[in-house]
Structure 1
Amino acid sequence: MYDMTGSIVTYNTEREDLKKVIGSFLNTDLNIKLWISDNSPSEKIKNEIKELIQEIEEEYNIKNINDKIEYIFNNSNRGYGAGHNSVIEKFGNEMSKYHLILNPDIYFEIGTLEKLFKYMEEHPKIGQIMPKVKYPNGEIQYLCKLIPTPLNLIFRRFFPLKKIKEKMDYDYEMKWSGYDKIMEVPILSGCFMFFRTEKLVSLKGFDERFFMYLEDYDLSRRMNEISETVYYPYAEIVHNHAKESYKSPKMTKIHIKSAIKYFNKWGWVFDKKRRETNKKIKENFIKSEKTR
Structure 2
Amino acid sequence: MPEFSGHGNVGYGRGHNLAIVQARSEYHLVLNPDVDLDRDALIDALDFLETHPEVGLLTPRISDAQGRIQYLCRRYPTLLDLFVRGFLPGSARRFFTQRLARYEMRDVINERDIVWDPPIVSGCFMLFRTQVLARLSGFDPRYFLYFEDYDLSLRAHDVARVAYVPHVRVLHHGGGAARKGHRHIKLFLASAFKFYRRFGWKFISREH
Q: Shorter chain as normaliser: what TM range?
A: 0.7 to 0.9
Q: Name the counterpart of 2:98.
A: 167
The runs of 5 or more residues in structure 1 that have no matched partner are 1-72, 279-292
Query: Could you tell me how far apart the structure 2 residues matched to 1:245 and 1:159 are?
Result: 9
The runs of 5 or more residues in structure 2 that have no matched partner are none
TM superposition score normalised by structure 1:
0.64
Taking structure 1 as reference, are residues 207 and 178 closer, same or farther at Cα in structure 2, changes over 3 Å only?
closer
Check conservation: 1:81, 1:212, Cα contact below 8 A.
yes
> What SS does the aligned partner of 2:157 have?
helix
Report the number of matched residues: 198
Report percent identity of matched pairs.
Answer: 38
TM superposition score normalised by structure 2:
0.88
Check conservation: 1:156, 1:168, Cα contact below 8 A.
no
Q: Name the counterpart of 1:266.
A: 199
Check conservation: 2:30, 2:126, Cα contact below 8 A.
yes
Deviation at 1:221, TM superposition (A): 0.7
Taking structure 1 as reference, are residues 244 and 266 closer, same or farther at Cα in structure 2, changes over 3 Å only?
closer
Q: Which has the larger radius of gyration?
A: 1
Check conservation: 1:79, 1:212, Cα contact below 8 A.
yes
> What SS does the aligned partner of 2:46 have?
helix
Matches within 5 A, 1:48-127: 74-91=6-23, 95-127=24-56
Q: Name the counterpart of 1:250.
A: 183
- Bigger mean CA deviation after superposition, 186-195 or 245-254: 245-254
Taking structure 1 as reference, are residues 236 and 198 closer, same or farther at Cα in structure 2, changes over 3 Å only?
same
Deviation at 1:144, TM superposition (A): 1.1
Query: Could you tell me how far apart the structure 2 residues matched to 1:163 and 1:252 are?
Result: 22
Q: Name the counterpart of 2:159.
A: 226
Query: Could you tell me how far apart the structure 1 residues matched to 2:176 and 2:202 are?
Result: 27
Of 195, 203, 224, which aligns to 2:136? 203
Query: Could you tell me how far apart the structure 1 residues matched to 2:137 and 2:61 are?
Result: 26
Alpha-carbon displacement from aligned partner over 1:269-289 (angstroms, at most 9, x marks no partner): 49xxx95xx5xxxxxxxxxxx
Aligned residues: CA RMSD = 2.0
Alpha-carbon displacement from aligned partner over 1:194-237 (angstroms, at most 9, x marks no partner): 00110000000000110000000000110022211110001111
Query: Could you tell me how far apart the structure 1 residues matched to 2:190 and 2:125 are?
Result: 23
Query: Could you tell me how far apart the structure 2 residues matched to 1:168 and 1:133 are?
Result: 21
- Bigger mean CA deviation after superposition, 108-117 or 205-214: 108-117
Check conservation: 2:64, 2:173, Cα contact below 8 A.
yes
Query: Could you tell me how far apart the structure 1 residues matched to 2:28 and 2:75 are?
Result: 23
Letter in 2 for 1:167: Q
Deviation at 1:151, TM superposition (A): 2.2
Deviation at 1:156, TM superposition (A): 4.1
Taking structure 1 as reference, are residues 166 and 117 closer, same or farther at Cα in structure 2, changes over 3 Å only?
same
Taking structure 1 as reference, are residues 264 and 155 closer, same or farther at Cα in structure 2, changes over 3 Å only?
farther
Q: Which has the higher contact order (CA 8 A, sep 6+)?
A: 2
